C-alpha cells in the first residue's frame, strides 16, 4: 500500500452502522427545510474554511504540495534528512487533504441535491487519485534502504521518532510490495478493480424496481429498503410481514444470477490481488494491513457457531411473547411491547453525557464541549444523507451527522457516534498527524462501549418492567445485529472465497447453498426458514463494497464487552486501572497495530474466551429479559 493510498482510504473512511433491517420509522420533525432548523443543531463549516474561495486556495495549495512531493522521487536514499523531509511533506499534504475533502463532503451530505458542491467534491477525488498514481514510487524506493540502516537513521534523528511505527510497518509488509513496474501495474488496475462494486451499485440501486404489495388494511406499499425495514420493525400482522419479505428478498432473487456473476468477479479479483502480492489466501491479504492473524477470524467463527444457544433461546422467547405458531426471520424485528416513550435530542444528549460519568470528569467535559453546538448535525432535512456517521478533520476535530427522530434507536445512535467522536477528540489531541487515525478494528470498540454505558444508565433510571424489557431487547437485538449476524456474514465470505481459492465454481446455486446452510447453523429449529432467504447474500452491500470487513464489528463488540466488564465490576482500584487503560487505548489513535493496542488495554482476541464473553453476555441479557417479561404479564 502506498503512502498516498493510505491517505485516500483514511480520508474516505466513514462509520457505517449496519443492520439487516433499517432503523425504525422516523417521527417526522416539524420542518424539513434546513434553513428553518436552529443553527445550534446544524454544522458550522467555518472551522474548516471561512468560504469557498478559501477552499479553492486550499485545494491549489494542496496540489502544489503534491507536485513538490512527487519531485522528491530519487532522494530517499540520501539519508535521514531526506526521509524526514518526505514524511513531513506528506503530513502537510495529509492535513490539507482532510480540510479540502471534508469541506465539500460534509456540505454535500446535508444537501445531496446541490450539484455545485457535488462537482467540487469530485475535483478533490480526482486530485487524490492523481496523487496516488504520482507517488506509486514512494514505498518501493523507501524499501531499497535496508531496514537496519533505516532503524539507525531513525535512532539518530529525534524528529523521525513519530514516524517510526509507520516507516517500519512498510518493512513488515515488504514481502507484499512489488517492484516499481509491478506497483505501477497494480495502480493502473485500481479503477478496473472497482468494477464489481460499481456494477453492484447500479444493479441494486439505479436499476432495481421494488414491487408494491397490498397490506391487510388495504394500503399499498412499495417495498424499497427503507419501507421494507420499517414494515418489519412495526407491522403487527404476520401475514403482511411474510408477504413483504417474500416480495422484497424475491426482487433480488429474480436477478440472482447477475448478482452471483458480480460476486464471482469480486472474489476472483480478491484472489488475483492476493496472489499478485504473494498471500496464501484472500483472508491473509485482507488482514495483513492491520497485522491481524488469520486465527482471529477463524476463532471468532468457530466460537460463535458453538455459541448460538442463547440466540435461539431469545428467538423462542420472542415467539412465545408474540404468540406465534411459527417464528420466521421476518418476525425477528417486530417489538414484543410497544412504548410511547420518546427520546427528544436534548434529553438523549443529557442521558448520553450522564452515562459516561464512569469515564471521568475530563472525558465528560470534553464531550459536553463537543456537543455544545456546530459539530452535531442533528435533524433530518430535505436532501440530507440518511443514517449517521462521525467524520474527523485533523486540527479541527470531529463532525457528527445524525437524523435524530426521538426514538430509542436514535438515542443509541447518538451514544454510538458520540463514542466515535470522543475517540477522535482524544486521539487528535494526543497523537501527531501521522498516527492520529485509528483503524476500524478499534473504532467500533469506542462506539459500542458508549452504547453499553447508555443502556446501563437508562436501566438504572427506570423501574417500569416494560421499559426495562424494551431496553434489554434493544441491547439483545444489537448483539444479534452487530455480533451474530456479522459473524455469519464473515462465515459466508470465508466459505465463498475459499471455493475460489480452490478453483471451484461460485454459482448462484453454490452461494444460495452456503447461505441456507448458515441460516440452519445459526438459527437451528428456533426459526422456520423460508426458502427465499437463501438469496439474502445478494442484498448485503458490505459483501460487494468491502469484503472481509464485517467481522470487525464482531471483534470490536467482543473487545468492548470485556473492557466494559473490567471498568464496571470488581474492586474500585481495578476498575480505575481498567478505565485508565481504556482511555489510553482511545488516546493511542493508530500508534500501533490494533491487536497490540487492544492487548495493552487487556483484550486478547486470539483467545476463545474473549468471544465467549459475548455469548455469555447474551445469555445473561436473555435471562434478564425473561424475568422482566414475567413481571409485565
Least distance from C-beta 478 to Zn ion, angstroms?
Answer: 12
- Contact present, 534 and 514 (Cβ < 8 Å): no
Find the part of the chain contacting Zn ion (CB under 5 A) among 268-276, 332-340, 444-452, 534-542: 444-452
Taking CA atoms, 337 is separated from 88, 322, 362, 401, 468, in Å, by 58, 9, 38, 30, 11
Element (H, E) at 337: none
Looking at beta carbons, which residue is closest to Zn ion? 15
DSSP at 328: B
Q: Which is nearer to Zn ion, 483 or 515 (CB)?
A: 483
Least distance from C-beta 613 to Zn ion, angstroms?
Answer: 20
Q: Which is nearer to Zn ion, 253 or 387 (CB)?
A: 387
Find the part of the chain contacting Zn ion (CB under 5 A) among 304-312, 443-451, 499-507, 569-577: 443-451
Task: Tell me the H-state helices in 437-484.
Answer: 440-461, 465-478
DSSP string, 587-631: HTTTSS-HHHHHHHHT--TTSHHHHHHHHHHHHHHHHHHHHHHHH
Q: Give the residue carrying C-alpha cell 478533520.
A: 393
Least distance from C-beta 582 to Zn ion, angstroms?
Answer: 17
- Contact present, 481 and 20 (Cβ < 8 Å): yes
Q: Which is nearer to Zn ion, 72 or 455 (CB)?
A: 455
Element (H, E) at 269: helix 256-276
Find the part of the chain contacting Zn ion (CB under 5 A) among 169-177, 178-186, 440-448, 523-531: 440-448
**Pairwise CA distance, residues 542 & 554, whole Å:** 14
* Grid cell digits, residue 113: 441535491
Q: Which is nearer to Zn ion, 469 or 557 (CB)?
A: 557
Q: Which is nearer to Zn ion, 381 or 450 (CB)?
A: 450
How many beta carbons lie within 10 A of that of residue 465, not counting itself? Answer: 16
Residues binding Zn ion: number (CB under 5 A): 2
Least distance from C-beta 607 to Zn ion, angstroms?
Answer: 24
* Grid cell digits, residue 392: 474527523
Q: Which is nearer to Zn ion, 246 or 480 (CB)?
A: 480
Q: Which is nearer to Zn ion, 15 or 526 (CB)?
A: 15
Find the part of the chain contacting Zn ion (CB under 5 A) among 128-136, 235-243, 332-340, 447-455: 447-455
Residues with Cβ within 8 Å of 189's Cβ and at least 6 positions away in sequence, in order, are: none
Least distance from C-beta 447 to Zn ion, angstroms?
Answer: 4
Q: Which is nearer to Zn ion, 251 or 447 (CB)?
A: 447
Q: Which is nearer to Zn ion, 136 or 403 (CB)?
A: 403
Least distance from C-beta 371 to Zn ion, angstroms?
Answer: 17
Least distance from C-beta 549 to Zn ion, angstroms?
Answer: 12
Which of 129, 6, 123, 138 has the alpha carbon at shortest distance from 69? 138
Least distance from C-beta 416 to Zn ion, angstroms?
Answer: 6
**Pairwise CA distance, residues 228 & 62, whole Å:** 44
Burial class (CB in 10 A: 0-12, 13-18, 19+), 46: exposed
- Contact present, 613 and 558 (Cβ < 8 Å): yes
CB-side exposure of 176: number of CA atoms within 13 Å?
21
Find the part of the chain contacting Zn ion (CB under 5 A) among 60-68, 95-103, 441-449, 573-581: 441-449
Binding mask 448-467 for Zn ion (x = CB under 5 A): --------------------
- Contact present, 398 and 424 (Cβ < 8 Å): yes
Residues with Cβ within 8 Å of 294's Cβ and at least 6 positions away in sequence, in order, are: 281, 283, 284, 287
Q: Which is nearer to Zn ion, 80 or 398 (CB)?
A: 398
Least distance from C-beta 266 to Zn ion, angstroms?
Answer: 24
424 scored as a contact of Zn ion (CB under 5 A):
no
DSSP at 135: T
Which of 331, 260, 345 has the alpha carbon at shortest distance from 268? 260
Least distance from C-beta 631 to Zn ion, angstroms?
Answer: 33
Question: What is the C-alpha end-to-end distance of the chain, expressed in Å?
Answer: 58
Q: Which is nearer to Zn ion, 15 or 321 (CB)?
A: 15
Least distance from C-beta 440 to Zn ion, angstroms?
Answer: 8
Least distance from C-beta 449 to Zn ion, angstroms?
Answer: 11
Among 264, 299, 447, 477, binds Zn ion (CB under 5 A): 447
Least distance from C-beta 443 to Zn ion, angstroms?
Answer: 6
* Grid cell digits, residue 539: 442484498
The SS3 of residue 376 is: strand
Least distance from C-beta 508 to Zn ion, angstroms?
Answer: 32
Q: What backbone phi and psi angles, to 5 degrees, belong to 400?
A: -120, 125
Q: Which is nearer to Zn ion, 15 or 472 (CB)?
A: 15
* Grid cell digits, residue 586: 482511545
Least distance from C-beta 446 to Zn ion, angstroms?
Answer: 8
**Pairwise CA distance, residues 359 & 453, whole Å:** 10
Task: Tell me the H-state helices in 135-254.
Answer: 138-142, 147-155, 164-172, 180-188, 190-193, 195-201, 225-234, 238-254
- Backbone Cα Rg of the chain: 25
Residues with Cβ within 8 Å of 459's Cβ and at least 6 positions away in sequence, in order, are: 468, 471, 472
Find the part of the chain contacting Zn ion (CB under 5 A) among 300-308, 339-347, 367-375, 442-450: 442-450
Q: Which is nearer to Zn ion, 105 or 447 (CB)?
A: 447
Binding mask 7-36 for Zn ion (x = CB under 5 A): --------x---------------------
Find the part of the chain contacting Zn ion (CB under 5 A) among 92-100, 199-207, 277-285, 446-454: 446-454
Q: Which is nearer to Zn ion, 486 or 538 (CB)?
A: 486
Taking CA atoms, 149 is separated from 142, 171, 466, in Å, by 11, 12, 66
Q: Which is nearer to Zn ion, 389 or 532 (CB)?
A: 389
> In the complex, which residues of this chain contact Zn ion (CB under 5 A)?
15, 447
Amino acid at each position: 500500500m502506498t503512502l498516498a493510498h493510505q491517505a485516500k482510504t483514511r480520508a474516505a473512511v466513514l462509520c457505517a452502522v449496519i443492520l439487516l433491517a433499517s432503523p425504525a420509522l422516523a417521527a417526522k420533525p416539524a420542518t424539513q427545510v434546513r434553513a428553518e432548523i436552529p443553527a445550534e443543531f446544524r454544522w458550522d463549516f467555518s472551522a474548516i474554511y471561512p468560504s469557498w474561495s478559501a477552499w479553492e486556495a486550499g485545494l491549489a495549495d494542496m496540489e502544489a504540495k503534491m507536485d513538490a512531493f512527487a519531485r522528491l522521487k530519487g532522494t530517499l536514499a540520501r539519508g535521514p534528512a531526506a526521509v524526514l523531509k518526505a514524511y513531513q511533506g506528506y503530513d502537510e499534504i495529509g492535513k490539507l487533504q482532510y480540510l479540502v475533502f471534508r469541506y465539500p463532503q460534509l456540505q454535500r451530505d446535508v444537501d445531496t441535491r446541490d450539484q455545485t458542491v457535488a462537482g467540487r467534491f469530485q475535483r478533490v477525488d480526482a486530485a487524490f487519485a492523481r496523487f496516488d498514481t504520482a507517488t506509486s514510487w514512494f514505498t518501493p524506493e523507501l524499501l531499497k534502504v535496508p531496514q537496519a540502516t533505516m532503524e539507525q537513521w531513525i535512532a539518530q534523528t529525534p524528529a523521525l521518532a513519530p514516524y517510526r511505527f509507520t516507516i517500519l510497518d512498510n518493512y513488515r509488509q515488504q514481502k507484499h510490495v512489488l517492484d516499481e513496474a509491478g506497483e505501477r501495474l497494480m495502480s493502473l488496475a485500481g479503477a478496473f478493480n472497482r468494477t464489481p462494486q460499481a456494477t453492484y451499485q447500479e444493479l441494486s440501486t439505479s436499476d432495481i424496481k421494488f414491487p408494491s404489495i397490498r397490506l391487510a388494511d388495504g394500503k399499498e406499499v412499495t417495498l424499497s429498503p427503507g419501507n421494507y425495514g420499517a414494515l418489519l420493525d412495526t407491522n403487527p400482522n404476520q401475514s403482511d410481514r411474510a408477504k413483504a419479505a417474500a416480495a422484497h428478498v424475491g426482487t433480488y432473487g429474480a436477478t440472482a444470477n447477475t448478482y452471483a456473476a458480480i460476486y464471482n468477479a469480486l472474489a476472483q479479483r480478491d484472489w488475483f490481488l492476493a496472489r499478485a502480492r504473494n498471500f496464501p489466501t484472500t483472508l491473509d491479504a485482507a488482514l495483513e494491513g492491520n497485522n491481524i492473524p488469520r486465527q482471529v477470524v477463524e476463532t471468532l467463527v468457530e466460537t460463535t457457531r458453538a455459541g448460538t444457544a442463547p440466540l435461539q433461546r431469545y428467538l423462542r422467547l420472542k415467539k412465545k411473547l408474540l404468540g406465534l405458531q411459527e417464528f420466521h426471520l421476518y418476525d425477528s424485528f417486530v417489538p414484543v411491547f410497544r412504548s410511547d416513550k420518546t427520546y427528544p435530542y436534548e434529553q438523549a444528549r443529557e442521558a448520553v453525557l450522564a452515562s459516561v460519568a464512569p469515564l471521568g470528569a475530563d472525558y465528560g467535559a470534553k464531550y459536553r464541549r463537543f456537543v455544545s453546538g456546530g459539530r452535531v448535525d442533528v435533524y433530518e432535512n430535505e436532501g440530507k444523507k440518511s443514517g449517521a456517521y462521525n467524520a474527523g478533520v485533523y486540527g479541527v476535530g470531529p463532525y457528527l451527522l445524525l437524523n435524530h427522530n426521538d426514538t430509542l434507536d436514535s438515542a443509541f445512535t447518538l451514544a454510538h457516534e458520540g463514542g466515535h467522536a470522543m475517540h477522535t477528540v482524544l486521539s487528535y489531541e494526543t497523537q501527531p498527524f501521522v498516527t492520529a487515525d485509528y483503524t476500524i478494528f478499534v473504532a467500533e470498540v469506542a462506539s459500542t462501549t458508549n452504547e453499553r454505558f447508555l443502556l446501563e444508565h437508562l436501566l438504572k433510571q427506570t423501574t417500569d418492567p416494560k421499559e426495562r424489557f424494551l431496553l434489554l431487547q434493544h441491547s439483545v437485538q444489537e448483539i444479534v445485529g452487530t455480533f451474530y449476524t456479522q459473524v455469519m456474514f464473515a462465515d459466508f465470505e470465508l466459505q465463498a472465497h475459499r471455493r475460489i481459492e480452490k478453483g471451484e465454481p461460485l454459482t448462484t446455486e453454490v452461494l444460495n447453498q452456503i447461505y441456507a446452510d448458515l441460516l440452519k447453523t445459526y438459527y437451528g429449529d428456533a426459526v422456520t426458514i423460508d426458502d427465499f432467504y437463501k438469496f439474502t447474500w445478494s442484498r448485503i452491500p458490505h459483501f460487494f463494497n468491502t469484503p472481509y470487513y464485517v467481522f470487525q464489528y464482531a471483534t470490536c463488540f467482543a473487545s468492548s464487552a470485556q473492557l466494559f466488564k473490567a471498568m464496571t465490576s470488581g474492586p474500585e482500584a481495578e476498575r480505575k486501572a481498567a478505565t485508565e487503560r481504556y482511555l489510553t487505548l482511545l488516546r493511542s489513535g493508530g500508534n500501533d497495530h490494533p491487536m497490540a493496542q487492544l492487548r495493552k488495554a487487556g483484550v486478547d482476541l486470539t483467545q476463545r474466551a474473549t468471544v465467549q464473553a459475548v455469548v455469555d453476555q447474551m445469555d445473561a441479557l436473555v435471562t434478564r429479559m425473561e424475568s422482566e417479561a414475567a413481571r409485565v404479564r
